């Protein structure tokens, strides 16, 4: 019988699945549920060593002699500290000794709780990985607990062997052992390139009927990789889920962003997700796949082998490059064919997506920009709204799209773009919002800014993003601090820097200006588009809802009267003054 404590069940199950059977046990109170769950299971070979200082060294000796992973278990408090010398020796001998330390309730740290010390940092510097498990209260805690244990166990012999540490808080009763059979917990396997069996992978793949290959940022594609992607698509029942930032659009690719952000149904779920690349712009894809995690397997292709369990269903990590994985798989002579059912299911839903005749708005700007960016150019979009609106429109061939969606900070969008523009002779475009621009505006004046730079600023008077997902109805004071409403314009700064400056407050002005941005020029170019953040939020939400409800009527809101003729005349006078001042 095993303890009813879920973290104990998950830990014992994964110890068994990873064939860790040599266990050195020291007596105590906090570790009773774990000790009793292990000592009653004939799988484990247990050793009793009362002194924890000796126990860690004893575990090292067993590991040296049997050439295997050895775990040692102790109670909370100074018992954990007594492991330090033996774990230190294991570190310098590169031996896989697993320190499992039981703990008290983490909420009572430094609250005079008996035998409660800071245990999570005791082995800093002498372990490859240290994790502290959550107190499990729901499925989210279970997933985290499972993932952390997998991470620690994988690291024991990942890129060389060494000790690891798992800290296990125990807050429930010790005396309930009503679990007759351990649940089979998810095990994450890490397969190095030298151990990949491509024939076995093929046999696995042909067993799946719905394979989604999710292509994130930062994958560098060459002609051979694109050819292998297309071969993969034609061989297996799959499709490639891409977005603008994926920087690929070959046979089998579907830009899933419009659908994932507006309407998804469970009948679109895959049974296998293969993850390549880094972050995504999409907000909806991850929760969609997470909601179906119980029926999905996830394989990750990653050169560093780090655990990235984005969809809560990671089962395999292939530690190799994307090119190596697909090259090895496509080198097999196989005659299997994609029945296209899963691809066509997604394609049919994407084909129903409605792109209306947009009123003057950020979406209208994005559409216009997508049409004029020449082949081989660079397009950088600032985070959130700027990246979002570009996902609905196709770009010309070989336009490379980027966005700082990794850490998702507004602070360096312009600076990152400036670095890219300075590193290419091709035209380089930036679509950016006002808060991001004014935050990083000094980068517009860097020495390396040259005539290939094209900046399109959507100035809607504040953080329109917050109106989009929160709104004034929920928080009437949203403009004061959350969206930071302002009346700044970029004209003075930009003109003083020597840019060719344009502005637009309506479709006609935008269309006239943006056409110039696709041609060579003697100066960097800047277009400031004036809109209103409340309108933008309502407009985008209506566009989303239109597709959620599959309503065929186009958006009818208009910005034609947003700026009066007096306001337009005032902007023109300011620009005229600035140009005269510069002369």
My answer on whether 337 and 390 are in the same domain is no
The H-assigned helical ranges of 156-197 are none
Claim to verify: residue 534 and residue 388 sit in the same structural domain: yes
Q: Is 384 in the same domain as 329? A: no
Whether 389 is covered by a domain: the verdict is yes
- Look at residue 66 and tell me if it is in a domain: yes
**Would you say the pTM of this structure is higher than 0.85?**
yes
Q: Are residues 317 and 392 in the same domain?
A: no
Q: Does some domain include residue 1?
A: no
pLDDT score for 104 = 86
Out of 186, 210, 240, a domain closes at 186
Average confidence score pLDDT of the chain: 92
Number of domains the chain is built from? 3
- What's 423's domain CATH number? 3.40.50.970
pLDDT (average), residues 467-481: 90
| Whether residue 291 is found in the same domain as residue 413 | no
Q: Are residues 196 and 182 in the same domain?
A: no
- Range list of H helices, 479-532: 491-496, 507-514
pLDDT range class, residue 565, cuts 50, 70, 90: low
566: confidence class by pLDDT, cuts 50, 70, 90: low
DSSP 134: P
User: Would you say residue 357 lies in a domain?
Assistant: no
| DSSP single-letter state for residue 170 | -
CB 254 within 8 Å of CB 242: yes
Q: Do the Cβ atoms of 120 and 167 come closer than 8 Å?
A: yes
Query: At 469, is the pLDDT very low, low, confident or very high (cuts 50, 70, 90)?
Result: confident
- Tell me if 356 is assigned to some domain: no
Q: Give the tens place of pLDDT for each residue, 230-246.
A: 999 999 999 999 999 99
pLDDT reported for residue 583: 42
Q: What is the CATH number of the domain that holds 300?
A: 3.40.50.1220
Dist. CA 306–CA 299, nearest whole Å: 12
User: Do 279 and 169 belong together in one domain?
Assistant: no
Do 157 and 215 lie in a common domain?
no
Last-in-domain residue among 186, 211, 230: 186
Residues 400-453 pLDDT 10s = 999 999 999 999 999 999 999 999 999 999 999 999 999 999 999 999 999 999
DSSP 299-333: EEE-SS-----TTS-EEEEEES-HHHHHHHHHTS-
Where do we find the tokens 């040599």? 22
Same domain, 169 and 29: yes
Asked whether residue 557 is assigned to any structural domain, the reply reads yes
Q: Are 245 and 341 in the same domain?
A: yes
Q: Which residues have CB under 8 Å from 84's CB, separation 6+?
A: 56, 122, 123, 126
> Domain for residue 450, yes or no?
yes
- Could you list the residue range(s) of the whole structural domain that residue 289 is in? 190-351
What pLDDT shows up at residue 558? Answer: 34
**pLDDT one-digit tens code per residue, 152-183:** 999 999 999 999 999 999 988 777 888 889 99
- The per-residue pLDDT for range 196-233, each reduced to its tens digit, is 999 999 999 999 999 999 999 999 999 999 999 999 99
- Domain boundary residue among 186, 208, 230? 186
Residue 149 lies in a domain: yes
**Is it the case that residue 79 has pLDDT exceeding 50?**
yes
Do 463 and 524 lie in one domain? The reply is: yes
Mark whether 410 and 490 lie in a shared domain.
yes
Question: Quick one: 40 exposed, middle or buried, by C-beta within 10 A (0-12, 13-18, 19+)?
Answer: exposed
Give 396's contacts (C-beta < 8 A, 6+ positions apart).
373, 374, 375, 377
């Amino acid at each position: 019988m095993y303890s009813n404590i879920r973290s104990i069940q998950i830990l014992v199950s994964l110890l068994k699945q990873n064939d860790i059977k040599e266990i050195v046990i020291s007596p105590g109170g906090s570790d009773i549920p774990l000790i009793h769950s292990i000592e009653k299971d004939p799988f484990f070979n247990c050793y009793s060593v009362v002194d924890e200082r000796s126990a860690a060294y004893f575990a090292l000796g067993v590991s040296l002699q049997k050439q295997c992973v050895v775990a040692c278990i102790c109670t909370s408090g100074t018992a954990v500290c007594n492991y330090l010398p033996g774990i230190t020796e294991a570190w310098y001998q590169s031996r896989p000794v697993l320190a499992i330390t039981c703990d008290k309730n983490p909420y009572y740290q430094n609250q005079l709780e008996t035998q409660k010390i800071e245990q999570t940092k005791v082995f800093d510097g002498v372990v490859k990985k240290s994790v502290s498990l959550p107190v499990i209260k729901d499925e989210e805690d279970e997933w985290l607990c499972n993932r952390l244990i997998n991470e620690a166990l994988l690291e024991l012999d990942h890129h060389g062997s060494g000790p690891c540490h798992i800290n296990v808080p125990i807050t429930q009763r010790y005396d309930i052992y009503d679990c007759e059979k351990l649940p089979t917990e998810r095990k994450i396997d890490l397969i190095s390139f030298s151990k990949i069996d491509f024939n076995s992978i093929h046999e696995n793949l042909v067993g799946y009927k719905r394979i989604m290959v999710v292509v994130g940022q930062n994958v560098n594609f060459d002609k051979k990789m694109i050819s292998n992607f297309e071969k993969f698509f034609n061989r297996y029942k799959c499709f490639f889920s891409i977005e603008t930032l994926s920087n690929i659009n070959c046979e089998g690719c579907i830009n899933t962003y419009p659908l994932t952000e507006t309407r998804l149904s469970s009948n679109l779920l895959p049974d296998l997700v293969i993850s390549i690349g880094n972050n995504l712009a999409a907000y909806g894809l991850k929760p969609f796949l997470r909601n179906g995690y119980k029926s999905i397997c996830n394989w990750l292709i990653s050169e560093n082998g780090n655990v990235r369990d984005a969809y809560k269903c990671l089962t395999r990590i292939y530690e190799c490059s994307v090119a190596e994985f697909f090259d090895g798989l496509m080198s097999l002579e196989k005659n299997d064919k994609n029945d296209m059912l899963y691809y066509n299911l997604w394609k049919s839903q994407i084909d129903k997506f409605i792109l209306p005749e947009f009123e003057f708005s950020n979406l209208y700007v994005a559409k216009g920009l997508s049409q004029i960016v020449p082949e081989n150019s660079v397009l950088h979009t600032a985070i959130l709204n700027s990246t979002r609106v570009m996902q609905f429109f196709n770009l010309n061939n070989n336009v490379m799209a980027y966005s700082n969606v990794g850490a998702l900070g507004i602070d360096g969008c312009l600076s990152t773009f400036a670095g890219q523009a300075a590193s290419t002779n091709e035209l380089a475009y930036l679509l950016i919002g006002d808060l991001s621009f004014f935050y990083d505006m000094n980068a517009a004046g860097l020495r390396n800014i040259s005539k290939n730079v094209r900046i399109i600023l959507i100035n809607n008077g504040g953080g329109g993003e917050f109106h989009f997902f929160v709104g004034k109805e929920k928080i009437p004071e949203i403009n004061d601090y959350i969206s930071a409403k302002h009346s700044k314009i970029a004209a003075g700064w930009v003109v003083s820097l020597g840019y060719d400056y344009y502005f637009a407050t309506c479709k006609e002005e935008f269309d006239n200006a943006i056409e110039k941005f696709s041609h060579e020029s003697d100066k960097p170019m800047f277009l400031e588009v004036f809109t209103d953040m409340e309108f933008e939020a309502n407009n985008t939400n209506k566009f989303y809802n239109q597709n959620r409800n599959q309503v065929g009527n186009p958006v009818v809101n208009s910005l034609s009267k947003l700026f009066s003729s007096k306001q337009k005349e005032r902007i023109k006078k300011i620009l005229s003054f600035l140009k005269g001042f510069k002369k």
